[in-house]
Amino acid sequence: MSSNIRNFCIIAHIDHGKSTLADRLLEHTGTVSNRDMKEQLLDDLELERSRGITIKARAVTMRFKRNGTDYELNLIDTPGHVDFHYEVSRSLACCEGVLLLVDAFQGVEAQTVANAFAAMEHNLKIIPVINKIDLTHARPEEVAEEMMNSLGTDPDECVRVSAKTGQGVDELIDCIIEHIPTPTGDPAATLQAMVFDSNYDDFRGAITYVRIMNGTVCKGQKIRFLKAGSVHEVVELGRFAPQRQPCDQLKAGQVGYLICNIKSLGDVHIGDTISIPGDKHAPALPGYSRPKRMVYCGLFPSDGQDFTELRDALERLSINDPSFEFEPETSEALGFGFRCGFLGLLHMEIIQQRLENESDIDLVQTAPNVTYEIINKRGETISIHKPQDVPDPGDIEEFRQPIVRCNIIVPNDYIGAVMKLCQERRGIQQTQEYLGAQRAMLGYNIPLAEVVYDLHDKIKSCTRGYGTLDYEMVGFEPADLCRLDIVVNGSRVDALSIVCHRADADRRGRAVVKRLKLEIERHMFEVAVQAAVGSRVIARETVPAMRKNVTAKCYGGDITRKRKLLQKQKEGKKRMKAIGNVEISQKAFMAVLSDSEG
């Protein structure tokens, strides 16, 4: 019965205890035996366990008996980092309620506010939960007041729990059953299901994770993916408990998975609607808005022969994570590869590590950059995803950079340090609100390029770890930007080009050419390493030539013979410089790229 089903997810800031609370819920409902229990059970990616963070949302079905009634609790555990907010938004579309988790010591943080507003936009029932009440320095009363001031929650409704010890978890389960609405949907209606996630299995093909909105799906039934237009037969279906557990049917309100032996990766789209074949299918669901890619970089196989393997690995990964995109590109320096778009720097790092770990491919990554807009002399607006695409300065009417609204929550003692940091990053202050006696939320409009690299780390440093950051895209604004080119021996190295503010170009150009001078191996001729903006060279270093001692065989005698040999060597080096190619090793690229990020 759908009246006994509760669909909910846990949302919170990083490290506020989402995965640990999910462990306790699995334990208290008897879904996992004590023998199989381990910490962060739902974080099953190797990368999640090694880093101690949730990267992918995970669904699990729990059975719970209360007053003689069997309840089905469908939980979706979500990530907390700002880069994975898209995973959270997908999970919210499949639920009727959320547990808004807040640390009893750290209180309301930047992502807490962002996730709470996202839940309100979906009109979900919010149950405020204060976690870690077992800490000696916990301050649940003050945190409840902070939640009331910033989110408008009632302090009396806050459920106090300790996910570590299990204290208060039984009361939380009762609260979930009483307050989270039952799913609306008719099991007898035409099948209508939303694909909220998917995974690729080498033996079973694409495995789609679905929430059934209306109707019933059975094993052996024919289904149609409305966006792809493809028809498949359901070979296996089931629920997550927490591993895949086959069953015969899934009804309206339930969450589970479908296996249809789909080998073509283009048939599965996250946000797609599943219905019946023919003209009488259910209308398509709204799905999800396209994620905004914030950061772009090039990924190239370190061995050029691995291009096909890299393409296959990216296609498999895009089924599981649709929030990054990729397209082929060619670089004179690095060969064939892909230009990839990500939600942020952590997301980029995670994708790169997953490719290396799961597909065993060695990658070279170019310097990350954000998307810019250019209005040319003809009035056309061009999106720039890589510095090489920036036209000549004479063809640019207006150069625009992406601006993000940053909400930074800091203790009052560190407001001055954070304001100074934001002003150095060309930020413009918009708001300043006090959440309580000790903490404030600052709102700044800052260029995205100044945010994605290391602003979060700098805020943590200057607030001794207590400051938190959340940001969202505002739009594009005109700025004094330029393309900084690195020229080696008269040839532009496309992989090292960057877009930066004109005031920073000299400093960054000098830093890169100094680094390259140390990394480029010496050749038989001297090599000029230059940084240029347009046709103007702003920095230069020279890699000296290797010199063979051609006069070593001359023992005394006429000086003219030595001069003739030296002149001959000089002419040879001049000819070599004109036709010679400078080899830049992979090590030099990696050193310069990692340096330019800083």
Residue-wise pLDDT for 306-354, tens only, equals 788 888 888 888 776 777 888 888 876 677 888 888 877 778 888 888 8
Which residue in 317, 323, 386 sits closest to 357, CA to CA?
317
pLDDT score of 357: 79
Query: Above 70 in pLDDT, residue 271?
Result: yes
Give the residues across from 205 on adjacent strands: 201
Which residue in 104, 126, 98 sits closest to 9, CA to CA?
98
Residue type, 447: P
Residue-wise pLDDT for 539-579, tens only, equals 888 888 776 666 666 766 677 777 777 777 677 666 555 54
Q: Cα dihedral angle (428, 431, 432, 433), rounded to 10 degrees? A: -160
pLDDT score of 596: 45
| Annotated binding-site residue? 122 | no
| Annotated binding-site residue? 20 | yes
pLDDT score of 575: 57
* 259 Cβ neighbours under 8 A, 6+ residues apart: 204, 205, 207, 208, 234, 235, 236, 237
- What are the structural domains, with CATH classification, of the chain? 2-179 (3.40.50.300), 192-275 (2.40.30.10), 295-368 (3.30.70.870), 374-478 (3.30.70.240), 504-597 (3.30.70.2570)
- Helix residue ranges, H only, 278-371: 307-320, 345-359
CA distance 569 to 554: 15
| 3-class secondary structure, 320 | helix
pLDDT score of 129: 92
| Annotated binding-site residue? 461 | no
CA distance 409 to 434: 9
CA distance 315 to 265: 7
Query: Above 70 in pLDDT, residue 143?
Result: yes
| Annotated binding-site residue? 408 | no
CA distance 424 to 258: 51
| Annotated binding-site residue? 19 | yes
The share of the chain scoring above pLDDT 70, in percent, equals: 85
Q: Which of 39-53, 289-303, 374-388, 405-419 has the lowest mean pLDDT?
A: 39-53
Q: The whole model's pTM is what?
A: 0.71
Residue 464 burial class via C-beta count within 10 angstroms: exposed 0-12, middle 13-18, buried 19 and up: exposed
| Annotated binding-site residue? 132 | yes
DSSP state of 107: B
Residue-wise pLDDT for 277-298, tens only, equals 888 888 887 766 667 777 888 8
* 327 Cβ neighbours under 8 A, 6+ residues apart: 338, 339
- Concatenate the DSSP letters of all residues of 517-549 into one string: HHHSPP-SS-EEEEEEETTEEEEEEEEPPP---
Q: Per-residue confidence at 509, pLDDT binned at 50, 70, 90?
A: confident
| Annotated binding-site residue? 134 | yes
CA distance 176 to 329: 50
Q: Is the dihedral of CA 447, 450, 453, 454 positive or negative?
A: negative
The share of the chain scoring above pLDDT 90, in percent, equals: 3
